[in-house]
Structure formats: structure tokens, C-alpha cells
Chain A
Amino acid sequence: MRSLPILGFVVVVIGGPTACRDDTPGSGIVLRVSDWGSPAVESAFMTVERELQEGFERRHPGVRVRKEQIPGPGQYAPKLCMMHVAGSAPDVMHLDASSAAIFIDNGVLLDLAPLMKNDPTFDRSHYFENVLDITRRGDAFYSVPLDFTPMMMYYNRRLFDRAGVPYPKDGWSWDDFLAACKATTIVPAGARQPTQYGYNFENVMPFWMPWLWTNGGDVLDPTGTRASGFFDGPASVEAMRFLTELMVTHHVAPTLAERAALGGDAFLNGKAAMDLKGHWMLIDYRARGLDVGAVSLPSRTGRPVTVIYATGLAISRHTRHRELAWEYVKYMTSAAVQIKRVASGLAISGNRQAAAHYAADPADDVEHAFLRAVDYARPPWGSRVENYPYCESLGEEMMEDILYGATSVEEAVRRTAGLMDAVLSP
């Protein structure tokens, strides 16, 4: 008898939380949707998203959309993987193209092709084909595009005007780029380092990898199984040497230490004339009052090239609400919803009609430059090769070695290509 209160306490402690679950029978269907956003830093955007979700809930009485946010760099993919392994993956997932392969190639996601085919209200031609194909495997489709951005070269018009340098144009070369960098770099007399740089180099591989492509090089072979012969190939090595020389030889881009001293993003702070970034930065540039233009990357091959990063909506293979999840995907990627969703300028809508809505002004050359890039942009390796995010971390460590002068470009690249091969080997 004396043990009864203790037993009761144990029952309450263990049973209490179970009894408090909010998806008990009778409370309607809860559709779980995951993304990597954080209400703390993107409150305005999240408010819009919540309003759009409420619109979906009104169309489907008895259904509640529950957003599961997993913020933090590098947290989203591991958490989703664990949720999948534990059998508790969300019904709908925001899928980042740069790490999509890990989910697609391991059976985490539902093939949407049958749903697309059997749904007369869905039309694939409403979406940018290039973007839709990022998560395509043969006839199988694993996501519907929400939004995307090609990486483009931004330039600060005011700094170009001040230096008397004409704005760059599509089809420009590395030599044109270097000349513009030199012309816009300002070193005051007697100063040890520039107060303004031509280019804001950032050691984030997704930001500098497209330079390899502009010289005809690449990170991996076309099958995505080997880095040696490509990452350490002459064209790639030359591209990486060109980048490092911008900092070390020409002093037209801040070194890693100088960049930190400038307070981070030198372009955003108005202390660099050019930067290679995506559409999302427009929000910050406009907030800071920067007058920016956008142009394709300078190329040595005569052909424009860049990488396209995208977000799509995917459905878990184990969802219990397949039809409802598909309805949600269609709703969120529809033109009417997308026009509201991308109003902030965070990215370009994957829906052609919504994208055209924001490119209606012929004078908006930035938006048009981004849209032109869709035709020639390539998908990121992470959408094809599941271990590629680890290769990127190796690439960033390598670039650090080079920039601190610990090793030559050739030696660092050769060694890193070997490490990448080991990571990619089955």
C-alpha cells in the first residue's frame, strides 16, 4: 500500500506527456511540414508563410499544418535523416538542392511522377524545367520547385561610378573582371591595406565553386564518383590560383583576416565593388540602400555558366497523408500563393507565372539577369552526389590552407582531390 503513491507518481510522469499529444483521434489531421527557417531571424517571411498555410487550412477543414523548423547551418539534413530512420519523418519537407541527393538516393522521398501524371490540375510546364530537373532521376520527380536562385555577380554601381569604370556586361572575361577589380580597389597613400576592394571573396565552397566551371574545370567527373583528374585538373587548378592571386598577389580582395576585420561581408558594408551571391542577398542590399546590378560570371570559355540553388517541396515516402501532402505541395507552389510568398525578394519563384510577375518591369535589370541565368545554370553537385557536402567541407579547408600559405595550390588541390575520392568511393 505504501508503494501506491510512488507507483501513481511514476504513472503520471510517464503517462502524462503521452496523454498530452495533440494528434489524438478526433482532433483532425495534422500535416507536418519541415523547413530550416527560424522565426527569430525571418519573422516577416514566416508571418507570410503562416498566413498562406492558414489559407490551406481553410480550404481543407479539419486539417492543421504544423511547421517543424530545424534552424542552424548543417542541422537540417542530419535531423531529417534521423527522423526518417526513426520512422517519424514529416509529411512534407523543404528540400535544399545542395543536399538533395542524400534524401533522393536513400529512399527517403516519394516519387511524385505518378501523382503528377494522375492529377489533371497539375501542369509541369508551369515550372522552370531546369529547376524541376534538379531533383529528377530519369522519369522520377522528387520535388516541386518552390523557389531558386542562380549565383550571380553583383556589382555596386556607386563604387563603379566613383572609379569611372563601366558596368560589367554578360559575356565578360576574367581579364575584364581583374581590370575592374584593380580599378575599384582603393589603397590610401601610406596605408598597409586597401580600404575598398574590388571583389569580396568568401571561403564558402558553394560561392567559389562556379569559378572552376567558368574555366572549363569541375569538382567531380561527370558521373560524380571521382574528384582526381577534375578538381586537380589544369583548368580547376588555374581557377583556384586565379582566386587566390586576387588576394595574395593583386590585393584586390580581402584576405580571410582582412575580411574579418572589415566586419564580415565587405560588399554588404559597401567596401567591395563585386560579390558572387544569390538572389536572397537583394533583401539586405536593398535594406542597406546599396544600388546594385547583377551580371553573369566572367568566363574564360566563352560560355556563361553558373550554379543554381533551389528549394523544393518533397513528400516523405512513409507519409500517411499522401494525397493531402500532394495537395499542400500543389497549393504552396501555385502561382497565386507564390506571388505572395516571394514578395520579399528572398528568391525567384519556381513557378513561371509568379516569377514573371516580379520581372514585369523591363527596367529591373537585376531580376532579368537572374532569369536569363536559368537557361544556362547547372544544378549543384549536392543534388546528384550524396557525399558532396563533405567534399565541400574538404574544399573549404583546402582553400584555408592555400590562403594561409601553408601549401601551394597544386599540392593542396592534389591532396584534397585524393581525400574527396576516398569520401566518394562506394
Chain B
Amino acid sequence: MSHHIVEVQDLSYTYPDGAAAVRGISFRIHHGESVAVVGANGAGKSTLLLHLNGALTPQRGSVRIGDFPLTKATLRDIRRTVGMIFQDPDDQLFMPTVFEDVAFGPLNLGLPPEEVEQRVLASLARVGVEHLRDRPPYKLSGGEKRAVSIAAVLAMSPDILVMDEPSANLDPRARRTLIELLAGFHHTKIIATHDLDLVLDLCPRTIVIREGQIMADGPTRDIFTNDRLLEESHLDKPLRMQACPVCSGSMARKAEDAGSAHEH
């Protein structure tokens, strides 16, 4: 299936105020792949993501989603193919009730009401929040808002999911639920995040961005064991890959035996 491919070639974008956010990025993501985009604040992650569904149009270079290059004419198809999950769910949930919000996309696609209802209920069930269907979004908890915003995107049945900081502002339990949920999806996934432990769970491949350029692109395990690369990119090893302070303190000898990079 060629149409779930995301291909970015030599992409550059400079904001009107002169800040060059993206400077010549190229990568190719295949069908069903799950890729993390990591980097410091202001490294250009968000700007890159905004190109993937045509919120920004490339100033130089090109973006191809599946068989289509991203142009004005293909925008509609591309926005249906690429589901974008925003960092702040409040930006994404603008309708008066959860049901209407999830139905917003499918209705705009022009689907008949029965089909819309079916899709809404199915996507609410998929993320486990059927019981919230008549609630107003502003009364939901952070985790519930996140789940509903994912359902709203799923209802458009996209092939590719693009997420900006999906675990931001979630409590540990909600974060765990989110990771399990995302792990169950078979979509092509592109996740921009600072949560490197989440990357370890979800993404076999990682792209590291610094100052608008790709520093590294490869298997997550390799990248997270490259201390110099992480240091240069303002990142820290995932907590799970760091030495346990308890073991390395009181049980230092044991820790030495087991090697410093063990998991708990």
C-alpha cells in the first residue's frame, strides 16, 4: 500500500519575522511505521508537523502524502488522510458536546447521518469514552479531553496520525492509558514529543531535530544510547534507561554486576 507514505524532501520554512524554523529537512516514512520526532524547544518540530497536513505550505522543497504532492488541489484529500492531534485539546474540541465534536469531521466529509452516527459511536468506543457522548467538552478532565480529541480524528478514518506532544499535561495513569491506546493503532504514526519514555514504548524509529535540521534518523535504541547526540540536542536519556539512583547508591555493587543501563 503506497498511499500511507509520508515523504518530505529538502523542506525549508522561514517565518515572516525572519526565524528560520525548518532548514532543509528530508525523510521518508513508510506504511505502518511509528516515528518519533524529538528535539529541544524551538527546534522546529511543530513547524514541521504543520506542513504534514497543509496548515503551512512549503517555501522550499516538497511534501508528499501517499501518491499526492501537497498542493492546494490535493489539500482536501490530504487533510482526510492525515489526522492531526493538537497539543492543547481545548483548541480541537470546539463543538458544544462531545458527540457533535466527533461528528464534525465526518459531517464535513458529507457522509449521511446514519453513517456519521455509526462512526462517532465506533470511535468513541475505540478510545473508551462512550459514556461522555452528551457532555460539554469544557467539563471533561485532561485525560478525557485527550481521548475525545483522538476519537474526533479517528472518526475521519485517517491513514496517518500526526501528534504534537500527546502526553503533555496528563497524569501518569492517563498517560499510561494513552500509550496503550496508541500502541493498539495500526496507523502510520508521527509523534513529536519530549516524553522519551513514551518514544521508547511506541516508536521503533526516531528523528532528532536541532535548529531546523535533522541531527539523526535511525532506530530509537541506537539514538537513545548515543550520549553525545542527546547532549547536543538538549535531550536526556529516557528515565528507564538511566541508572536507578536507589540501586547505584545502596546497592552499587549489584548495579555494577547488572550493567548500568538496566530497566526496572
| A, B assembled together | no
Q: Which residue numbers of B lie inside 8 Å of A, CB to CB?
A: none
- Residues on A close to B: CB < 8 A? none
